[in-house]
């Protein structure tokens, strides 16, 4: 598995960190985990061809996680000299189909009406889908009304993506024994907020779940001035890394 960080930030966008988006290559399958505003531009910067994306897994419907869905669909329909043929599957938690219906009502054929290819919109939560060479499990997280974390398994490797969440049973299950935990770490310990993690809470839940490697992400701007690794390492004994936009990670 290959992971490219396209957006390690939040709604408070900075030059250093765009809103949430991650590219995951599973053999010959091209996947996006969330697609917040600025994601398409970051893909171009990273040398990733948006025309090749096969699946988009959205964790929840906050704009910093889904805002570039419309721009992606518009680009696939209106890029000169390009005619998409392979299917595109968009997957999210309960309520995701309604989100896409609303987008269609706003923008009509300019976006939603796929031209020349099959556009599939699906919902999943607390279930597993099995594909030819990989599988994904969606578990309910503690954040928005409906929020998914996703656990991918491919070639005997496991990536767990928490999306936005506080500590909960779903998160513990999601992270269990993961080779890499891509785990949100939004606020400092002294500014903890419900539905989000801090360096200490992220480290504790990863340690308890036996994660082999921890990649912290989804940082609000104040986090860049803190010793996040130092704080997290007081409760987590594995390898800790800080997500940076455009960085490539091999799992």
Residues 6+ apart with CB under 8 A from 101: none
Number of separate domains in the chain: 1
How many other C-beta atoms lie within 10 A of the C-beta of residue 104? 17
| 104 pLDDT higher than 90 | no
The overall average pLDDT reported for the chain is 95
Tell how strand 21-26 and strand 55-57 pair up.
Answer: unpaired
Instruction: Output the pTM of the full model.
Output: 0.96
Q: Which domain holds residue 76?
A: 2-250
pLDDT at residue 231, as a whole number: 98
Q: Is the pLDDT of residue 7 over 80?
A: yes
Phi, psi (degrees; rounded to nearest 5) at 14:
-130, 170
Give the C-alpha separation, 202 to 134, whole Å.
27
Per-residue confidence band for 108, with pLDDT thresholds at 50, 70 and 90: confident
The encoded tokens of residue 250 equal 């091999």
CATH of the domain at 130: 3.60.15.10
Relative to beta strand 157-161, strand 119-123 is unpaired
- With CA atoms as reference, report the closest residue to 191 among 183, 180, 199: 199
pLDDT number for residue 54: 98
**Total count of residues recorded for the chain:** 251
Residue 145: band (very low, low, confident or very high) from pLDDT cuts 50, 70, 90: confident
Q: 145 to each of 61, 93, 140, how far by Cα in Å?
A: 9, 10, 10
Integer Cα distance of 212 and 223 in angstroms: 23
Average pLDDT over residues 63-79: 94
> Above 70 in pLDDT, residue 113?
no
Question: Above 90 in pLDDT, residue 107?
Answer: no
Q: What's the burial of 234, exposed, middle or buried (CB within 10 Å: 0-12/13-18/19+)? A: exposed
Query: CB–CB of 232/203 below 8 Å?
Result: yes
* Lowest-confidence region among 35-39, 40-44, 106-110, 207-211: 106-110
**Structure tokens that stand for 178 in this block:** 């993961």
Residue 111 pLDDT more than 80? no
């Amino acid at each position: 598995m290959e992971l490219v960080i396209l957006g390690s930030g939040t709604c408070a966008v900075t030059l250093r960190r765009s809103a949430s988006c991650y590219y995951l290559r599973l053999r010959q399958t091209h996947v996006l985990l969330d697609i917040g505003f600025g994601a398409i531009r970051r893909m171009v910067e990273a040398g990733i061809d948006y025309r090749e994306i096969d699946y988009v897994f959205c964790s929840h419907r906050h704009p910093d996680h889904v805002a570039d869905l419309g721009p992606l669909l518009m680009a696939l329909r209106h890029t000169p000299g390009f005619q998409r043929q392979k299917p595109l599957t968009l997957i999210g938690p309960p309520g995701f189909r309604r989100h896409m219906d609303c987008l269609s009502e706003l923008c009509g054929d300019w976006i939603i009406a796929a031209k020349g290819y099959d556009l599939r919109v699906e919902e999943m939560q607390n279930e597993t889908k099995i594909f030819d060479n990989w599988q994904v499990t969606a578990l309910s997280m503690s954040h928005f009304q409906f929020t998914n974390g996703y656990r991918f398994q491919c070639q005997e490797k496991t990536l767990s993506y928490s999306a936005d969440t506080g500590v909960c049973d779903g998160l513990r299950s999601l992270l269990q024994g993961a080779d890499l935990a891509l785990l949100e770490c939004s606020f400092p310990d002294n500014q903890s907020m419900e539905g989000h993690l801090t360096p200490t809470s992220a480290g504790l839940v990863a340690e308890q779940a036996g994660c082999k490697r921890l990649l912290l992400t989804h940082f609000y701007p104040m986090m860049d001035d803190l010793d996040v690794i130092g704080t997290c390492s007081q409760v987590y004994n594995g390898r800790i890394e800080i997500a940076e936009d455009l960085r490539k990670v091999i799992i």
